[in-house]
């Protein structure tokens, strides 16, 4: 097919501008992104070759090769992975296929650090090459296609790209960056090697570079006629814990999650027994932009005996842990496992239970030993963790211990009181855990229902998150103490003193006729009017019957059209 010139999708143009102008201070990330794409391409080939081994052709030693040419001022990243057809090059390199593109542009802030994180999250790494290159040429041939169906894609990153069909014997992709003026410092083997070691050491396949040696006579580095492997080149999760440094765990997390921040915590172990698998799980320190997107499920990367099977295997994690990132590598699942099959597999069920337990232990450990980090976790993901109270009956008690609340003890909306803290502060004769629900923290705090609790110094949980009432409907007690809404029926705040009792009886008698009168007037509006000693400042308040829905839930259902 002939050469054609095509325009980038409008969003790509904007993105290129952004990349070039705002990521300059992080320019070496282009290498990480291109190596990560090469590694993905190898994973995809291995996966497709399970069903069709002929795709390996005569070359099954997958590797990435990085080299540079001082005279031509180019850096080349070459892989023998899945490759691209002409159509794939046009769609994958000329448009942003991801659905969240519009969100992405609406979130750009102009702040380099923040925008760099977004680029990672949205997976638009290929274009980062234009930070250092004023022309990128991609030559590729997809595994399984004849040599005559290679493709050359080329662009100066200024709005258009050219595609041409070429003859290409080797399967895979070669990406050549023609460096911009002034980027010559990158044309240095030592420099490139150190960037690779910094960002891509965890990549599971070998990254090769031409071997260089110091020549005494010429007094410069000369290239030998062989390659050397510059990374560790083994799957990080399959190595033993003692051989892995924290910085390697962190880089691997960043590669997996496209997050530029460090994770809050991780856990790594090999499970033996009925089902054998390796798990490496991370808690991110910030929520992704689509945490609440119902169509996006998150999940773990699934491998079977080191072979990549799928991203986002949501069957491996319950919904309330959907922000956990990581890898599960199973020894038992068949290589041809599909999403549908995952749903029915008993092995997957066992793995999911194991992963859930492990993730909860990791959170318990944070809550116990690193309170600041746990507070960060709670701020980012607490709302989602609360869903677990309803979703995961088997682990309800463990989840309940991890919950944090704002209460009448504090002056801020910050949720930092655990149920155990609350119980430890309960008054001598207090038998229940009290809570109030409202649309906002402020409304909860100013609820007239709280007056008598304040007076008696009884702490009350202030609940104002949307999920609270739903979640608490599953949590009826904690350590044998029933949870009770302050807005429900009669209050039993323990024994009152005799004097107080006598005084109340006297007043009740005197006011009986008045109460009956009010009842008569409000007979269509209120089920019952009663005298209360709960209020100290407000003249009256509405309470729900013990068996009725609380006011907040009623309003919520009404808002939802029920």
- Of the residues 16, 31, 41, 327, which one makes contact with ligand ADP according to CB under 6 A: 41
Q: CA–CA separation, 487 vs 151, rounded Å? A: 70
Sheet holding 150-155: strands in order across?
Answer: 4-7, 160-166, 150-155, 133-141, 172-179, 74-79, 64-69, 207-215, 220-229
Q: How near is the Cβ of 79 to Mg ion at its closest, in Å?
A: 12
Q: How near is the Cβ of 33 to Mg ion at its closest, in Å?
A: 5
CA angle, corner 153, sides to 152 and 158, nearest 5?
155
298 binds Mg ion (CB under 5 A): no
Q: How near is the Cβ of 554 to ligand ADP at its closest, in Å?
A: 45
Q: How near is the Cβ of 140 to ligand ADP at its closest, in Å?
A: 7
Q: How near is the Cβ of 71 to Mg ion at its closest, in Å?
A: 29
33 binds ligand ADP (CB under 6 A): yes
Residue of minimal CB distance from Mg ion? 125
Please say which residue, 36 or 407, places its beta carbon nearer to ligand ADP. Answer: 36
124 binds ligand ADP (CB under 6 A): yes
Q: How near is the Cβ of 249 to ligand ADP at its closest, in Å?
A: 22
Q: How near is the Cβ of 148 to Mg ion at its closest, in Å?
A: 28
Q: How near is the Cβ of 97 to ligand ADP at its closest, in Å?
A: 8
- In DSSP terms, which residues pair with 220 in a beta bridge? 215
Task: Check whether 37 is labelled as a binding-site residue.
Answer: yes
Binding site partner of 135, from ligand ADP, Mg ion, none, Cβ cut-off 5-8 A by kind: none
DSSP code for 488: B
82 binds ligand ADP (CB under 6 A): yes
Q: CA–CA separation, 189 vs 257, rounded Å? A: 28
Task: Check whether 103 is labelled as a binding-site residue.
Answer: no
Q: How near is the Cβ of 103 to Mg ion at its closest, in Å?
A: 18
Region binding ligand ADP by CB under 6 A among candidate stretches 36-44, 107-115, 198-206, 463-471: 36-44
> How would you classify the pairing of strands 461-463 and 433-437?
parallel
Binding site partner of 283, from Mg ion, ligand ADP, none, Cβ cut-off 5-8 A by kind: none
- Of the residues 45, 81, 208, 268, which one makes contact with ligand ADP according to CB under 6 A: 81
Region binding Mg ion by CB under 5 A among candidate stretches 30-38, 105-113, 166-174, 295-303: 30-38
78 binds ligand ADP (CB under 6 A): no
Q: How near is the Cβ of 299 to ligand ADP at its closest, in Å?
A: 16
Among positions 83-102, residues that touch ligand ADP (CB under 6 A) are: 83-84, 92-93
Q: Which two tokens stand for residue 514?
A: 């008045």
Task: Check whether 122 is labelled as a binding-site residue.
Answer: yes
What b/e sequence results for 547-558 when a residue is b if at least 16 CB atoms lie within 10 Å of its CB, and e otherwise? eeebbbbeebee
144 binds ligand ADP (CB under 6 A): no
Region binding Mg ion by CB under 5 A among candidate stretches 120-128, 229-237, 443-451, 515-523: 120-128
Note whether 11 and 96 are within 8 A (CB): yes
Q: Which two tokens stand for residue 187?
A: 């044309």
Please say which residue, 93 or 360, places its beta carbon nearer to ligand ADP. Answer: 93
Q: How near is the Cβ of 38 to ligand ADP at its closest, in Å?
A: 5
What b/e sequence results for 12-27 when a residue is b if at least 16 CB atoms lie within 10 Å of its CB, and e otherwise? bebbbebbbebbeebb
Q: Which two tokens stand for residue 233?
A: 């080149």
How many residues at the interface with ligand ADP, by CB under 6 A?
17
37 binds Mg ion (CB under 5 A): yes
Q: CA–CA separation, 556 vs 562, rounded Å? A: 9
Q: CA–CA separation, 460 vs 485, rounded Å? A: 9
315 binds Mg ion (CB under 5 A): no
Task: Check whether 384 is labelled as a binding-site residue.
Answer: no
Binding site partner of 180, from Mg ion, ligand ADP, none, Cβ cut-off 5-8 A by kind: none
Task: Check whether 100 is labelled as a binding-site residue.
Answer: yes
Tokens 């007239």 correspond to 448
Region binding ligand ADP by CB under 6 A among candidate stretches 74-82, 228-236, 352-360, 375-383: 74-82
Note whether 334 and 240 are within 8 A (CB): no
80 binds ligand ADP (CB under 6 A): no
What b/e sequence results for 378-411 when a residue is b if at least 16 CB atoms lie within 10 Å of its CB, and e otherwise? bbbbbbbbbbbbbbbeebbebbbbbbbbbbbbbe
Q: CA–CA separation, 264 vs 431, rounded Å? A: 37
DSSP code for 496: P
DSSP strands (E only) in 88-155: 133-141, 150-155
Please say which residue, 125 or 354, places its beta carbon nearer to Mg ion. Answer: 125
Binding site partner of 15, from Mg ion, ligand ADP, none, Cβ cut-off 5-8 A by kind: none
Q: How many residues does the chain have?
A: 562
15 binds ligand ADP (CB under 6 A): no
DSSP strands (E only) in 383-499: 406-407, 433-437, 461-463, 477-478, 481-485
448 binds Mg ion (CB under 5 A): no
DSSP assignment of 228-261: EE-S--S-GGGS-GGG--HHHHHHHHHHHH---S
Task: Check whether 99 is labelled as a binding-site residue.
Answer: yes
Region binding Mg ion by CB under 5 A among candidate stretches 35-43, 311-319, 465-473, 527-535: 35-43
- Of the residues 83, 94, 100, 125, which one makes contact with Mg ion according to CB under 5 A: 125
> How would you classify the pairing of strands 220-229 and 207-215?
antiparallel
Of 484, 452, 295, 471, the closest CA to residue 382 belongs to 471
Residue list for the binding site? 33, 37, 79, 84, 98-100, 121-126, 173, 339
Residues within the interface to ligand ADP (CB under 6 A)? 33, 37-38, 40-41, 79, 81-84, 92-93, 123-126, 173
Residue list for the binding site for ATP? 33, 37, 79, 84, 98-100, 121-126, 173, 339
Residues within the interface to Mg ion (CB under 5 A)? 37, 125
């Amino acid at each position: 097919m002939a050469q054609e010139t095509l325009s980038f999708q409008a969003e790509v143009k904007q993105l290129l501008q952004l990349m070039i102008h705002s990521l300059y201070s992080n320019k070496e990330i282009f290498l990480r992104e291109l190596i990560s794409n090469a590694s993905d391409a190898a994973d995809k080939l291995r996966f497709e070759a399970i069903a069709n081994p002929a795709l390996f052709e005569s070359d099954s030693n997958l590797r990435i090769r990085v080299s540079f040419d001082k005279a031509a001022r180019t850096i080349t990243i070459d892989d023998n992975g899945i490759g691209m057809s002409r159509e794939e090059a046009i769609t994958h390199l000329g448009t942003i296929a991801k659905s969240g593109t519009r969100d992405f542009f609406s979130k750009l802030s102009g702040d380099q650090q923040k925008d760099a994180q977004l680029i990672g999250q949205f997976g638009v790494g290929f274009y980062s090459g234009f930070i250092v290159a004023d022309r990128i040429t991609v030559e590729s041939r997809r595994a399984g296609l004849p040599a005559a169906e290679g493709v050359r894609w080329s662009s100066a990153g200024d709005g258009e790209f050219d595609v041409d069909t070429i003859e290409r014997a080797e399967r895979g992709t070669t990406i050549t960056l023609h460096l911009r003026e002034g980027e010559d410092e990158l044309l240095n083997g030592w420099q490139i090697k150190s960037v690779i070691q910094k960002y891509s050491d965890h990549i599971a396949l070998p990254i090769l570079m031409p071997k260089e040696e110091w020549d005494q006579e010429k007094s410069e580095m000369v290239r030998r006629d062989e390659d050397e492997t510059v990374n560790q080149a083994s799957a990080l999760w399959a190595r033993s814990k003692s051989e892995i440094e924290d910085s390697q765990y962190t880089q691997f997390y960043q590669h997996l999650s496209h997050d530029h921040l460090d994770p809050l915590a991780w856990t790594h172990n090999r499970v033996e027994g009925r089902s054998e698998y390796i798990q490496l799980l991370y808690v991110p320190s910030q929520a992704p932009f689509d945490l609440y997107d119902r169509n996006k499920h998150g999940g773990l990367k699934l491998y079977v005996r080191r072979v990549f099977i799928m991203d986002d295997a949501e069957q491996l994690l319950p919904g309330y842990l959907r922000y956990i990132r990581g890898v599960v590598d199973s020894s038992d699942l068949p290589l041809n496992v599909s999403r549908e099959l995952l749903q029915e597999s008993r092995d997957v069920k066992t793995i999911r239970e194991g992963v859930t337990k492990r993730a909860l232990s990791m959170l318990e450990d944070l809550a116990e030993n690193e309170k600041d980090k746990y507070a960060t976790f709670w701020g980012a993901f607490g709302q989602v963790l609360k869903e677990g109270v309803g979703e995961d009956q088997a682990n309800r008690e463990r989840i309940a211990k991890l919950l944090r609340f704002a209460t009448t003890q504090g002056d801020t909306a910050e949720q930092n009181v655990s149920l155990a803290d609350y119980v430890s502060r309960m008054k001598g004769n207090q038998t229940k855990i009290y809570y109030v629900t409202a649309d906002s923290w402020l409304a909860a705090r100013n609820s007239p229902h709280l007056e008598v609790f304040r007076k008696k110094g009884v702490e009350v949980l202030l609940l104002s998150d949307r999920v609270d009432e739903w979640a608490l409907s599953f949590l009826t007690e904690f350590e044998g103490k029933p949870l009770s809404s302050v807005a429900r029926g009669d209050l039993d705040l323990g024994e009152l003193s005799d004097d107080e009792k006598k005084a109340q009886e006297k007043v009740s008698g005197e006011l009986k006729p008045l109460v009956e009168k009010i009842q008569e007037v409000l007979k269509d509006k209120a089920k019952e009017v009663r005298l209360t000693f709960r209020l100290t400042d407000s003249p009256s308040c509405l309470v729900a019957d013990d068996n009725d829905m609380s006011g907040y839930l009623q309003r919520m259902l009404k808002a939802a059209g029920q």
